[in-house]
Amino acid sequence: MDQGEWDMTKTVELVVVGSIGLDTIETPWARHEEILGGSVSYACAGASFFAPVGMVGVVGEDVPAECEAVYEGFGIDLRGLQKAAGKTFRWSGVYEADMNHRRTLLTELNVFADFQPVLPEDYRQAPFLFLANIAPALQLHVLSQIRSPRFVAADTMDLWINTAREPLLEVIAAVDLLALNDAEARLLSGEHNLVKAAKKIMKMGPDYVVLKKGEHGAMLFSPRGVYVAPAYPLEVVHDPTGAGDTFAGGFMGSLAESGRVDAESIRRAMAYGSVVASFGVEAFSLDRLRRLDRTQIEARFKEFAALTHLPQA
């Protein structure tokens, strides 16, 4: 199904909770000011090609009217979108030439500083939930509102590992999947070897751990072993901002569409997440995703499958 085609009266299958921001981004080749970003923006956009998704986030009075129109274009359910007095969250960063490293120049929380996620009543029945990178206390607040979810995934970062470890450990114990990068996995587990780090994190509660490796793809650790999903090779990357959240959205959307949580559906979701994220980095903000449709996703998915297929001996 293409973006924007979801019936807004249809039951939300996936709920995503996270940040909405206006980003100023500079790469070696371009600079864009106050463009739509934030973890919930990218994750909901990535998921929207697969399943009905509901957004939970907050914006200020200054958010451009066209931002809501962008979300509606993806068919995202916006009943969980809060509007508060004040300014919208802002972030500014500069990418180095390799596009893997960036410097944060500015972070202004604004209305996001007082964000208290409130799930609409029917969101609480959703079978799939993605907790994007927000404070563990807020993630716990969301978990207290959801009823009998089938699969819950959470993202985190080094800030929360260092400053909010105890509530973070509560979150980790309550979710099915934790996503983090190599450095964060080492920091959380105290293990330098990534296999040992992932196994130690799994003992904290989740059945699945996804290690995000940027241009090198992602690694999935589960009781069934390790699965590696490479990144789709691209000639040009315009803006890697939000790639991890787009991956998570595609991953969770694919799971929600399948209605299953097993080894096959998880691995298939990893591949779809990588494919959708590969489109997202081809333009700034959500611009490439806005021009994307399911036909293009399936075509690249087939290419991705061919790239990762090993011929039988």
For the segment 37-86, what is each residue's pLDDT rounded down to a tens digit? 999 999 999 999 999 999 999 999 999 989 999 999 999 999 999 999 99
- Give 203-213 pLDDT, tens digit per residue: 999 999 999 88
Looking at residue 311, what is its pLDDT? 65
The domain locations on the chain are 14-308
pLDDT of residue 313: 56
pLDDT for the residue numbered 174: 97
Q: What percent of the chain has pLDDT over 90?
A: 82
**pLDDT at 1 > cutoff 50:** no
pLDDT band at residue 4, thresholds of 50, 70 and 90? very low
pLDDT of the residue at 263: 85
**Nearest C-alpha neighbor of 213 from the set 221, 205, 225:** 221
CATH class belonging to 14-308: alpha beta
pLDDT at 99 over 90: no
- Closest by CA position to 4, among listed 73, 68, 78: 73
First-to-last CA distance in the chain? 38
Q: Is it the case that residue 130 has pLDDT exceeding 70?
A: yes
Chain-centroid distance of CA 117 in Å reads: 17
Question: Average pLDDT, whole number, for the chain?
Answer: 92
